[in-house]
Structure 1
C-alpha cells in the first residue's frame, strides 16, 4: 500500500507544490528500509542515507509501520535540519488514505522548506470531522529529540484510527488468495455437501438463528486455527505498559484482519455455492427431498449450510500452509518481515 500511495502522490505533488521560481521533481524509491526498524529515529537515519545516495534535496519516507510515542499515535515526524521526514500511513486511518496522505505530505514539505503560511490547517487535514474523531496536533520538539516537528493524534481516539489503518495496511480482502489449501478444502467440502441429500435435510431444519450462529462459529474457528497453528499471536517481551499496549494493538489488528479476510472468503464461497446449487439441483428434486415446496429461500439455506461446513474444513486445510505463507497472506510487507524476524530470533 505505501508504494501505491507514493506513486500516485508522485504524479500529483509537483503541481501541488508549485511555487514561484521553484520547479519540483518527485522521485520514488521503493525499498524495505523500515522492515527492521522500530522507531522513527532509525527510519529518519535510513531515509537520510537514501537521500544522500540519490542526491535529493529532501526525502520523505512513507511507511506502514505503526508508531506511537507517549501513548499517542504518530502521524509524521520531520527533521528539518537534515531535510528528512517520515509519514506513518496507519495513523491516517483506514479510509481516504490517499487524500490524507496528500494533506500531511504538503504539510511536511512546508515544514522542511520553511514555508508555513496559512496556518496548521491550510490543507484541510484537521477538519471538523477529524477534530471530533481523532484530531491531529502539531508539536515542536526540544533539542533532545531527533525530530524537530511531530504530528500526533489523541491517545484514545487516535488509537482507534491507528488500529483501522493497521488493518487497512494488511489488506485483509487479499487473504483468500494466499490461503490456497484452506480454500481448496472449503470448496471440496462444499461440493460434498451439495451432493448429500442428508445434509440438505439437516440444513433445512436449522432456523435462521442457528444458521447465523453456525456462520459465526465457522469463521471464528478458522481465525482461531490460523492464529494458533501459525504463531500469529504476539507475546509480550517485557512487563512495561508501553509494550503491553503495543502488543494489544498488534494482536487486535491481527484478529480484525483475519476476521475480515475469512469473512470475505465466506461471502465469496456462499455466492458460488448458491449459484451452483441453483444450477445443479432442480427445484422438483429439492422439493421431493425436503418434503415441501422449495423456493429461493431454501436454496439460500442450503448454500449457507454448505458454506459453513466448507469454512470449518478450511481450518484443517490451512494447516498445510507454511507459517511464512500465512504471514504473507495476512500482513503487509513490513509487518510480515517484522514477524518473520521475530520467529527466526525465537
Structure 2
C-alpha cells in the first residue's frame, strides 16, 4: 500500500519547531503509513479570511503532490460571526488550518500531535462527517486563546532583548544600595507603598517598550473582526512584556539582596539611622531598590530595538508575514 503523502505547512519559528516533531506520526490503528513533509513558510495573515489561507495550502499541495495538507499557524482564526476557531477544514480538498494558540499554550507538542493525527484521520476517511469548522466557546475560548498567544510569544526570551536595561538597572541598584538616603526612604515606606512602587515601575517600563518599539496594533478597518484582532494582539503583547519585565525585576531583586547582604552591616546602618536595623530590613531595602533601579535603568538606558522585543508583538510578526507573502508572490 502506498503511504499517505501529508504536507505540514508551518509558520516560521515556534510552529515550525512543533511541526518538525510530528514527522513520526502514525495512524491510530496502525494500518497504513504516513509520509509527512514539513515546509516552513508564512501562509496566512490575521487580516484575511481563513479561506485565503486554505487556498494557499491547496496550491502548495498541488505543487508537492500531497494527498492532504495541514497548515499550522500561530495566528488566531475566526469565522464571519466573530467566533474564534480551533481549526478550519475543507474535507473535499483535504485541507485544514490549525490555530496553535487555540490549543491553550500548555503541553503544545502533545496537544498538537493529537490534533494533527485526528485531522489526518478525519480527512483521509471519506465516510467522516462533513465538518468544516471547530469553534471555541465564546468567553472561555477567548481566554484560552489569549493564554496560548502569550505562551507562543515565549516571554522568558525577552530577557536577552532587555540586556542593556538590565545592566543599567543593576548598576543603578548597586549604587543605590549603599546610599544612606535610600536607606531612609526604604525604611519610611509602608508595604502598600512598596507594592505601588513595584507596579508603577513595571508598568512604566512596559509602556516605554510599547512606545519605543511601536508595538501597539491598530485595526485595519472598523469591522468587529479587525477590532477584536487588535484587542487580542495588544492584550498578548502587554501580557508578554509584563511577564518579561517581571522576570527581570525578580532577577534584579535577588542580585540586589545578595549585594546588600555582602556589603552592608545592619548594626552600622542602625547606628547611622539611629534606629534598630536587622537582617530582615535588607529585604525591604532590596525591594525598594529593585523598583527604583527598574525605573531608572529601564527608562534611562535607551532600550534597544531588539528582535526579541519585536517578537513579543503579534502585529510585528504579522507585518513580517505579509512582507514575505508579498515577496513570494512577486517572485513566483
Fold agreement, TM-score > 0.5: yes
Single out whichever of 307-316 and 27-36 deviates more from structure 2.
Answer: 27-36
Q: 8 Å contact 2:46–2:77 — kept in the other structure? A: no
Single out whichever of 37-46 and 205-214 deviates more from structure 2.
Answer: 37-46
Counterpart selection for 2:110 from 99, 102, 105: 99
For normalisation by structure 1, the TM-score amounts to: 0.80
Q: 8 Å contact 1:171–1:331 — kept in the other structure? A: no
Deviation, 1:289, is 3.5
Distance 2:225 2:276 in 1: 61
Aligned to 1:84: 95
CA separation of 1:155 and 1:71: change in aligned 2, threshold 3 A: farther
1:93-118 per-position Cα deviation (integer Å, ceiling 9, x unaligned): 1323233222322221122101778x
| Residue 63 (1) aligns with residue 76 (2) | no
| Residue 5 (1) aligns with residue 15 (2) | no
Q: 8 Å contact 1:75–1:152 — kept in the other structure? A: yes
Aligned to 1:194: 177
Single out whichever of 304-313 and 316-325 deviates more from structure 2.
Answer: 316-325
- Unaligned ranges ≥5, structure 2: 1-13, 324-332
Deviation, 1:308, is 0.4
1:48-83 per-position Cα deviation (integer Å, ceiling 9, x unaligned): 343344443322121101111122111111222222
Q: 8 Å contact 1:269–1:307 — kept in the other structure? A: yes
Distance 1:341 1:149 in 2: 25
Deviation, 1:41, is 2.1
For normalisation by structure 2, the TM-score amounts to: 0.83
Distance 1:174 1:318 in 2: 19
CA separation of 1:45 and 1:293: change in aligned 2, threshold 3 A: same
Q: 8 Å contact 1:110–1:116 — kept in the other structure? A: no
Distance 1:54 1:342 in 2: 23
CA separation of 1:116 and 1:7: change in aligned 2, threshold 3 A: farther
| Residue 154 (1) aligns with residue 137 (2) | yes
Q: 8 Å contact 1:36–1:337 — kept in the other structure? A: no
1:26-62 per-position Cα deviation (integer Å, ceiling 9, x unaligned): 3322223346873422322332343344443322121
Single out whichever of 242-251 and 284-293 deviates more from structure 2.
Answer: 284-293
Deviation, 1:168, is 1.2
Counterpart selection for 1:23 from 33, 38, 58: 33
Report the aligned-residue RMSD: 2.7
Distance 2:199 2:137 in 1: 34
CA separation of 1:87 and 1:318: change in aligned 2, threshold 3 A: farther
Deviation, 1:208, is 1.1
Number of aligned residue pairs: 309
Q: 8 Å contact 1:59–1:84 — kept in the other structure? A: yes
